[in-house]
Amino acid sequence: MGLTVRMGRLTPSFRRLLLAEIERLYKRFRPKLRDPRLQKTFDALIKEWSKEAPSMMMSNISTPLDAMNLLANVHTMAELDQLSGELQKLQDQASLTRELKET
């Protein structure tokens, strides 16, 4: 009986682990979300994770789920910042309209 030597990577790459985690969450977590809006939001997160996979791979964060959570938080903060700016513009416009009506 001869010795078989396998060459190559012994541990899965971060990308492979990331894709496996996304697939696992899609199959096991997403169906448990009862609200269709939450399912839609989860689908949007999957798109963001896929789009930003290279940044997560280069982050030196050891587990894919931790990197995914960090990216989700960054994405949420960016959305909040954008919405806050839009709200401020609307408030400024409403204030200006009130001032014009008073004069």
Alpha helices in 52-63 (DSSP H): 53-57
- What's the confidence (pLDDT) of residue 49? 93
Q: Output DSSP code: residue 10.
A: S
Would the pTM count as exceeding 0.95? no
Q: Tokens 């954008």 — which residue?
A: 82
Sign of CA dihedral 38, 44, 50, 56: negative
60-103: pLDDT as tens digits: 898 999 999 999 999 999 999 999 999 999 999 999 999 888 87
**Do you know the residue count of the chain?**
103
* Domain residue ranges in the chain: 14-102
pLDDT reported for residue 64:
93
Phi, psi at 98, each rounded to 5°? -60, -45
Tell me the average pLDDT across 24-46: 96
Q: What is the pLDDT of residue 39?
A: 97
pLDDT of residue 1: 57
What is the pLDDT averaged over residues 40-63? 92
Other C-beta atoms lying within 10 Å of the C-beta of residue 68: 22
Note the pLDDT of residue 24. 96
- Output the pLDDT for position 6: 67
pLDDT number for residue 2: 67
Amino acid found at 95: S
